[in-house]
Structure 1
Amino acid sequence: MRHACAAALLGLVVAAPVAAQPFDYGFAGLMSASNRERLEPLTLASGQPVAEAPYELKSGTYYRLKIIADGSAELALSGGDFFRAIWVNEIVINKIEVRPMGVHSIEFDAAGEVDMSFIAIVPGTYELSIPGSTGDTQKAIFHIR
């Protein structure tokens, strides 16, 4: 009986699922070059779509996103929920690197570009949209898995 119990216990131990192995990104961790992906840019132009299609992101991946405004109108992208679901590494404006603690929106008064790098964190569906607009083309949708 004692051996049967020991064998059954051993069987449970052997059948137990193996814990997930951590990713080995090397010395730079999540910021490693092997964990980086460049996204298609967002466009801010009067009457034009902000994004061609929804973005599919993976939690824990480092992304770079360019936002390009043509200056045809004073436009912003707002999305507090999106910015709370990611960790922003930096926002580069005119070769000036900003490392913010938090972001709610980015506004362009004239033509220009912003290059943002971030790590997707919290799974869910999020939007960056032009404030006051209601059209489906006036927002970018991000699905973090």
Structure 2
Amino acid sequence: MRPIAFALAVLAAAPAAAPGFAAPLCDQFGFAGLLAKCNRGAPIELTLASGQPLYAGDGPVELQSGAYYELHVTADGSAELALQGPDFFRAIWMNEIVIEDIEVRPMAIDSLEFDAAGTVRLSFVAIKPGSYELKIPGSSGDSQRVVLAIR
């Protein structure tokens, strides 16, 4: 029985001592839990446009595991474009996808495709630490992808 108690004590203390450990965004989650307002990171804005960069920021988008985020993807309608990132979509818990005020609560997605201009809003909780990318399928340029790092 002692080895089990010792192992549990080590596991309980491990996250606080692990390198790269990040504290939660808020201390009191309340009734909303992980979706609490204090646990929300800044929205991530992406633009799908022919010949334009996908993401306007520099470097990877830093996300914190356990924090709630919104990803806003806006297509300008200049071309039929998609956004794919199956590894990223499996590293998060998807709360909902909102398209023209229609809420969808999917189990999983691989990609989104825009046939016309519009905006989609994905709300999610970052879960699995790692580095992931969202990109326009068939493109090879660095400006046609964005790296999202979950810490």
TM class by shorter chain equals 0.7 to 0.9
| Alpha-carbon shift at residue 65 of structure 1 (Å) | 1.3
Find the aligned partners of 1:40 and 1:142 in 2 and give their Cα distance.
10
The answer to whether the aligner puts 1:56 opposite 2:62 as a matched pair is yes
TM-score, normalised relative to structure 1: 0.84
Please give the secondary structure, in 2, of the residue aligned with 1:41. Answer: strand
Q: Which amino acid aligns with 1:101?
A: M
Match of 1:29 in 2: 33
Match of 1:93 in 2: 99
Match of 1:72 in 2: 78
Match of 2:133 among 110, 117, 127: 127
Find the aligned partners of 1:48 and 1:138 in 2 and give their Cα distance.
8
Contact 1:38 1:65 in 2 (8 A): no
Find the aligned partners of 1:40 and 1:30 in 2 and give their Cα distance.
18
Cα deviation, 1:43-88, whole Å, max 9, x if unaligned, reads 0000100012321000000001110000000000001000000011
Please give the secondary structure, in 2, of the residue aligned with 1:38. Answer: coil
Structure 1 consecutive aligned stretches of length 4 or more whose deviation exceeds 6 Å: none
TM-score, normalised relative to structure 2: 0.80
Matches within 5 A, 1:106-117: 106-117=112-123
| Alpha-carbon shift at residue 128 of structure 1 (Å) | 0.6
Contact 1:66 1:113 in 2 (8 A): yes
Q: Which amino acid aligns with 2:98?
A: V
For structure 2, the 5+ residue unaligned runs are: 1-8, 17-22
**Rg: which structure is higher?**
1
Identity of aligned residues (%): 62
| Alpha-carbon shift at residue 37 of structure 1 (Å) | 2.0
Match of 2:150 in 1: 144
Contact 1:50 1:139 in 2 (8 A): yes
Find the aligned partners of 1:97 and 1:38 in 2 and give their Cα distance.
21
**Matched residues, number:** 130
